[in-house]
Amino acid sequence: MAADRHTLARALEFAAVAHGEQTRKGTTIPYVSHLLQVSGLVLEWDGDLEQATAALLHDVVEDTPVSLREVVEAFGPGVGEIVGDCTDTGADETPGSKRPWLLRKRGYLDKLRSVGARSALVIACDKLHNTSTLLVDLELHGLETLGRFNAPAPKQLWYFRSVAAALRGRVPDGLQALLAEHAERFAALTGAVEWREDAG
């Protein structure tokens, strides 16, 4: 199923209904804002309409009752594969019952090292928007911003650096450099020293 502008519009409606009244963590910003931003970034970094469609849906399996099978049935296997690669929860997890943060992120990083370039672009744009908004909030509101997250700054820094490293060579160099730069700005703004895997 080739994605076109009609598919993109249908995906936006699908995502808006699925995410409902969800907001960005710790804010009153409608969640759909993030989805639109990520889809726009995908297009700006030379992604195609199928990737932009997947970007609108990238959190729908992870954060709503929608299943990956439903995504595939509605938008095709290409979109479904990308959405699956963007998802860090397992088939037995639900939005209200997920594994601990560190277990999910370790598993996700393992998966990230083997995803294809098409998925990698969407994932990179998602992480770029996440870190962009986090950095803005840190600059405006200081360290109190970190209170809305499930992991302390040293582990967040480990994750940001690990994602940037895992995507190297499979996304445009400029995009990967921005992810790495954002990780270092996060370190500077928080004073965090990276948590290490061998620290437990």
Quick: pLDDT tens for 136-182. Answer: 999 999 999 999 888 999 999 999 999 999 999 999 999 999 999 99
Query: What residues have CB less than 8 Å from 19, skipping those under 6 apart?
Result: 31, 32, 35, 59, 60, 63, 64
With tokens 């095709």, the residue in question is 76
13 is catalytic: no
Query: Tell me, what's the pLDDT at 92?
Result: 75
CATH number given to 5-90+97-199: 1.10.3210.10
Given 62, 85, 88, 126, which residue is catalytic?
Answer: 62
Quick: pLDDT tens for 14-71. Answer: 999 999 999 998 889 999 999 999 999 999 999 999 999 999 999 999 999 999 999 9
DSSP annotation string for 60-92: HHHHSS--HHHHHHHH-HHHHHHHHHH--S-TT
The answer to whether 18 touches 2, Cβ cutoff 8 Å, is: no
Q: How much is the average pLDDT of 107-113?
A: 93
Domain residues of the chain, as ranges?
Answer: 5-90+97-199
Q: How much is the average pLDDT of 63-89?
A: 96
Given 21, 48, 50, 63, which residue is catalytic?
Answer: 63
48 is catalytic: no
For residue 200, pLDDT beyond 60? no
